[in-house]
Structure 1
Amino acid sequence: MALRRVRAEDFPLVDAFHRRCSPAHLLRRWGRTRPSPRTLGRLLAHADCWLGLGAGDEPLALVSVGPVSREAGVFDLGLQVADAHQRRGIGTALARHAAQYAHDRGAHTLSTYTEASNQPMLRLLRRLGPVREMRHGAHLDVRLPLGMSGLAHRPP
């Protein structure tokens, strides 16, 4: 899988990725079934994003990572894999890429705010390392430490 850094002018490629996702998964991730160029622009104003591309530059996944306001050293992780390509390690690879990117920019923690029912995302995060989960009604704030004993550690 190749990674392509997303810019605002890449909306047609991001839109092609979203067309590979079910309406239910789009609602879970974006709160709507058709994210717009404006939605992508808002995301890019606060985070760095990459598309995971398969054979023939087919968009398979989207990952975003950026600082959480008012929490120094905490970066937010957003991740979505096209329905037909889930459970193949794509999300894990992109989460690891995002973790290293965040760590290289001074982050000590990745944060994901997700529905407590989003078992695929929770399983992925729990496999990456020890997490701390704080419940907020039907949602969880999941924190994954980075660094020496965490996900983004590079052995000497």
Structure 2
Amino acid sequence: MALWRIRATVDDRPGYLSVLTASLALKSVNILAVQVHTTEAGAVDDFLVDAPDALSESDLVTAIAKGRGRNAFVSRAEAEGLADQPTRALALAGRLVHEPDALGEALVALLDEAEVRWRPEPLTSPPGDDDTRMTLADPAGGSYEVLRARPAFTPAEHARARALAEVAGTAVRHRQENITLLLPDGRELTLRTATPADAEAVVALHRRVSAASLRSRYLGGGAPAESRLRRLLEPAGGRTLLAETADGRVVAMANLLAEGDLGEIAVLIDDEWQRRGIGTALVRRLMAWAAKGRFAALVAHTAADNVAMLRTLRRLGAGPAERDGAMVSVTLPVAGQEKKEQVGEPV
């Protein structure tokens, strides 16, 4: 027996797929996997089959024609083809999360028989595609041209290729957002955007810090419930940054929470890592991110006796402090906001 890949178009009408499969069955062809692509020309049926060794490519083409199939494409297949397309696409997406530079290789693996060419020139127009060619932007720079004369690309294949490119782009942007912070004592920390996968490390941070640090961050309250901490990792309309050591221990968390066009910034730092410039670095990055959005103002609330945090906020240009009992509120500048107001742009 031999593995073959078969692709053919049939009318998208009830019973037509069964006619094709019956014609193949008469030749003792065993269908191992099937996938149906809906197109304007009809239903494109993609099979992985096990056929008797005596059957040739022309025999299979003849059987397809007798089964009312058209635009037949037949080629030898490898055992790797036994993995269905959704499984293969998910595996490739998983690889791109860790290796976004491997997009070209992923496209080759995804699109059987395709030729993938990388060009240093970026796309000058929106990504395009047709039956035999598609173009995709390379998130690392440049662009890809994907060519395949036969079989023609289906809409599903176009969508999968674009989805892989988006996964690679997200991974590249995430990598670019990570920066290394060199502390005065020579130690290094990574500053990066938080994800839901950081929940356990953030909970551990809250368990390590002192009661005084928790009161300063949560204005008199203790550590919030674990469910709220998980929500803080991806605040709606805002952002959360973490500082972590080389071994993955989170030692600081800074949140930018959005309430309409107002942003609220708060920071929590492990006691043994305080007064090393970590809070300043985190808040500065949150302010830079806020400047790209539609925030009209940023505020920070902290305990009146939190001298270190107040010093950090003043260093970053905070306005006069407004005291309300044991709490102090300050306003932080949003870069470009004054210019928007002057020209009358909506903020």
So what's the TM-score if we normalise by structure 2?
0.39
Residue type of the alignment partner of 1:40: L
Aligned to 2:216: 28
Distance 1:80 1:94 in 2: 10
Q: Which runs of 4+ in 1 moved over 4 A?
A: none
| 1:148 to partner: Cα distance | 4.4
Aligned to 1:63: 254
Q: Secondary structure at the match of 1:121?
A: helix
Match of 1:49 among 240, 261, 264: 240
How well do the aligned residues superpose, as a CA RMSD in angstroms? 2.2
Identify which range, 90-99 or 103-112, moves more after superposition: 103-112
Rg (Cα) greater in structure: 2
Distance 1:129 1:142 in 2: 10
Distance 1:88 1:45 in 2: 26
Aligned to 1:39: 228
Residue type of the alignment partner of 1:39: R
Aligned to 2:327: 139
Distance 1:28 1:147 in 2: 27
Q: Unpaired runs of 5+ in structure 1?
A: 151-156
Q: Unpaired runs of 5+ in structure 2?
A: 1-188, 339-347
CA contact (8 A) 2:301 2:330 kept: yes
Distance 1:149 1:45 in 2: 23
Distance 1:35 1:51 in 2: 17
Quick one: higher RCO (CA 8 Å, sep 6+), 1 or 2? 1
Distance 1:27 1:117 in 2: 11
| 1:11 to partner: Cα distance | 1.5
Q: Secondary structure at the match of 1:66?
A: strand
Distance 2:235 2:246 in 1: 29
Give the number of aligned pairs.
146
- Please give the per-residue CA displacement for 1:65-99, whole angstroms capped at 9, x wherever unaligned: 02234xx3x31101111110111111110011111
| 1:25 to partner: Cα distance | 0.9
Please show how residues 1-20 of structure 1 align to structure 2 within 5 Å: 1-20=189-208
Q: Secondary structure at the match of 2:208?
A: coil
| 1:112 to partner: Cα distance | 0.6
Identity among equivalent positions (%) equals 34
- Please give the per-residue CA displacement for 1:23-43, whole angstroms capped at 9, x wherever unaligned: 2211332311x4332121443
Residue type of the alignment partner of 1:120: A
Distance 1:51 1:23 in 2: 20
CA contact (8 A) 1:132 1:144 kept: no
Residue 114 (structure 1) aligned with residue 302 (structure 2):
yes
